[in-house]
Amino acid sequence: MYIFLKNVFFAADKKHTMKKILFPLFLLFFSLGVDAQKQRDFSKYEHKHAFHKPWIGNNKFLTDYMDKIGYENQTLPLYSVPVKFYVFGKNNAPDIQDVKETVQNLNALYAENNTLISFYVSDVKFIRKKKFDKFGYYVQFPFQSFLRHDRKALNVFLVSKLTKPGKKNKNLEYTGVCNNVNHTVVVSSKNDASVIAHEVGHYFLLKHPHKNYDKGKRRQEAVDRDVFRGGLFVRGRNSEICGDGLSDTYAQPHLIKNTDRNCNYLSPELTDIRGKKYTPQVDNIMSYTMGKQCRRRFTKMQKAVMLYTVSKKKNADLWQLKSTFADKFEPDFSPLTATVLKDKILQEHNFHKTVFKKNKIEDEDVDFMRFTIGKKVNVENSRIVISGQAALKAEIFVSENDELKSLKEISKNKDERTEISLQGFVTGSYVIKISQTQKTSENNVTVSYSITLDLDKGENNIIKKE
Ligand SMILES: [Zn+2]
């Protein structure tokens, strides 16, 4: 502009020919053209936008973050997030098995997608009241989620039925929702694994890929990734601002109306507001596909949002796993949730750090396992074999009428192998409690061990001989 004015005045002063006036006009035109091109150079929008998460309009923030944590070279979780469960209801209420399944489903999908985030049950509370048999979406959930909230954990409410009032909703059951304010998650039990994974995705600030798809040109995510969107507070690629704000989750309509139960997209003619046809992903965990089992995938940007969000949580430093994966047989933190030891099947366990109140890190992780001795077992030759890195104490209890009676205790040093003879054990149900006897070092918070039940069943030996 300055050059233009200078040239105009220069031209006017010296009363030069028309050519001299046309030249600066040409310059102005040219500079406008450059400006229009610059608008498509999205790198100029790579900065933090006021009032928005740092990745909105700037997905490069996420790719940079993934590079920073060396995502491509990581195969083991970086975080193990404690989950506090609140189980609501009296009749047909979810039980401890449902708690286990929920956290195992969550771990399964987060591990399959290499999110580098794992979960363990830190506590379970049962609220056994009839009024919670049908758990209200609009009133009971928000109210209870403020009443019962552990700020040091991911709070998950488990209910048998989640309902909305009104005739229209009478026969509808909702599978889950995440409270936008305190990020408590509620899910109904016995759902597809994607239900808990989806709601926990919201806990980590993921949005639906179809967000605002029907809210007009400005708010709809364009199919084309490089459509520019201007604005007062955020400017950049439409695909990084609209929808879920992530460019690697494609634009999509509301998939529940546009997919079948077998995960097929049914609307090949459906277009975005600019006339481009949708070719949506139908396997994204944050989508609303008709078949919930279709939802199995998080994209890299989604993983980046979750990893960045977890790193900013208040207790992130306590949740960091500096060595290996938290116990894959979790949650075996109580006799009720003990994992079952099956004959001659090796189980691998880890001790991982446990978060207690007052931000203290403790090594008091304990694992519980249970096993039964049937009539055909020859206890004289039966045993339990424990080996591996961890120094530990194993205590065996007999389980009678819901009470545990201590029978035997044995200790093992670091890297030692030990055997517990089952000589004298009668037919019945037993529980083993395993606790750590040596604290792990500051930086190495998990140590592993393996355990095998080795029963001598006379008849099996005979079959083997045949
Ligand atoms: Zn959702």
| 53-321 has CATH 3.40.390.10 classification | yes
What is the distance between the alpha carbons of residues 41 and 34, in angstroms, rounded to a whole number? 11
- Residue whose C-alpha is closest to residue 176's, from 231, 102, 65: 102
Is pTM, for the whole model, over 0.85? no
CA-nearest of 243, 298, 283, 251 to 109 is 298
Q: HEC states along 130-187? A: HHHCCEECCCHHHHHHHHCCCCCCEEEEEECCEECCCCCCCCCCECEEECCCCCCEEE
Q: Is the pLDDT of residue 266 over 60?
A: yes
SS3 61: helix
Expressed in angstroms and rounded, the spacing between residue 74 Cα and the centre of ligand 1 is 28
Between the CA of 178 and the centroid of ligand 1 the distance, in Å, is 7
Q: Give the pLDDT confidence of 161-202 residue by residue, as tens digits.
A: 999 888 777 767 789 999 999 999 999 999 999 999 999 999
Contact 145, 176 (CB under 8 A): no
pLDDT band of residue 104 (cuts 50, 70, 90) is: confident
pLDDT tens sequence across 288-314: 999 999 999 999 999 999 999 999 998
pLDDT at 9: 38
Mean pLDDT of the chain: 82
Please tell me the predicted confidence (pLDDT) of residue 187: 97
Question: Does the pLDDT value for residue 323 go beyond 50?
Answer: no
* Confidence label for 440 from pLDDT (cuts 50, 70 and 90): low
pLDDT digits (tens, 9 = 90+) for 417-426: 999 999 988 8
For ligand 1, the distance from its centroid to the CA atom of residue 82, given in whole angstroms, is: 21
- Ligand 1 centroid to residue 296 C-alpha, Å: 14
What is the CA(380)–ligand 1 centre distance, in A? 56
Q: Which of 237-241, 277-281, 352-356, 368-372 has the lowest mean pLDDT?
A: 352-356
Distance (angstroms) between ligand 1 centre and the Cα of 236 equals 25
Alpha helices, DSSP H, located in 148-299: 193-203
| Arithmetic mean of pLDDT, 396-420 | 87
> Contact at 8 Å (CB) between 397 and 433?
yes
330 confidence band (pLDDT: 50, 70, 90): low
Contact 50, 233 (CB under 8 A): yes
**Torsion, Cα of 292, 293, 294, 300 (10° steps):** 90
What's the CATH fold of domain 325-465?
Answer: Jelly Rolls (2.60.120)
Distance 259 CA to ligand 1 centre (A): 17
pLDDT score at 8? 39
CA 283 to ligand 1 centroid distance, Å: 14
What per-residue confidence (pLDDT) applies to 271?
Answer: 94
More confident residue, 2 or 399: 399
Higher-scoring residue by pLDDT: 110, 96: 110
pLDDT above 90: percentage of residues in the chain: 46
- Quickly state the pLDDT bin for 352 (edges 50, 70, 90): low
Residue 443: pLDDT over 50: no
Of residues 7 and 270, more confidently modeled: 270
211 CA to centre of ligand 1 in angstroms: 10
* Cα 287 to averaged position of ligand 1 atoms, centre (Å): 8
- Ligand 1 geometric centre to CA of 205 (Å): 10
Determine whether 336 is exposed, middle or buried from the number of CB atoms within 10 Å of its CB (0-12, 13-18, 19+): middle
Confidence category of residue 36, pLDDT binned at 50, 70, 90:
very low
Residue 9 C-alpha to ligand 1 middle, in angstroms? 61
Residue 295's pLDDT is 96
Burial class (CB in 10 A: 0-12, 13-18, 19+), 272: buried
Q: What is the whole-number distance in angstroms between the Cα of residue 142 and the centre of ligand 1? A: 16
pLDDT tens digit sequence for 54-87: 999 999 999 999 999 999 988 777 888 889 999 9
Ligand 1: distance of its center to the CA of 54 in Å? 21
Q: Which of 124-138, 165-179, 305-319, 423-437 has the lowest mean pLDDT?
A: 165-179
Classify the phi-psi angles of 446: left when phi > 0, otherwise alpha if psi is within -120 to 50, otherwise beta: beta
Q: How far is the CA of 68 from the centre of ligand 1 (A)?
A: 29
Residue 339 CA to ligand 1 centre (angstroms): 32
Distance CA 124, CA 158 (A): 10
Residues 48, 79: Cα–Cα separation, whole Å: 26
C-alpha 437 – ligand 1 centre gap (Å): 43
Q: How far is the CA of 208 from the centre of ligand 1 (A)?
A: 6
Distance 40 CA to ligand 1 centre (A): 32
Q: What is the pLDDT of residue 20?
A: 55
pLDDT of residue 3: 40
pLDDT above 70 coverage of the chain, percent: 81
**pLDDT band of 21, cuts 50, 70, 90:** low
* Helices 300-312 and 60-68, axial angle in degrees (round to 10): 70
Closest CA to 159 of 121, 192, 120, 185: 185
CA of 228 to the centre of ligand 1 (A): 27
Residue in 169, 135, 97 with CA at minimum distance from that of residue 338: 97
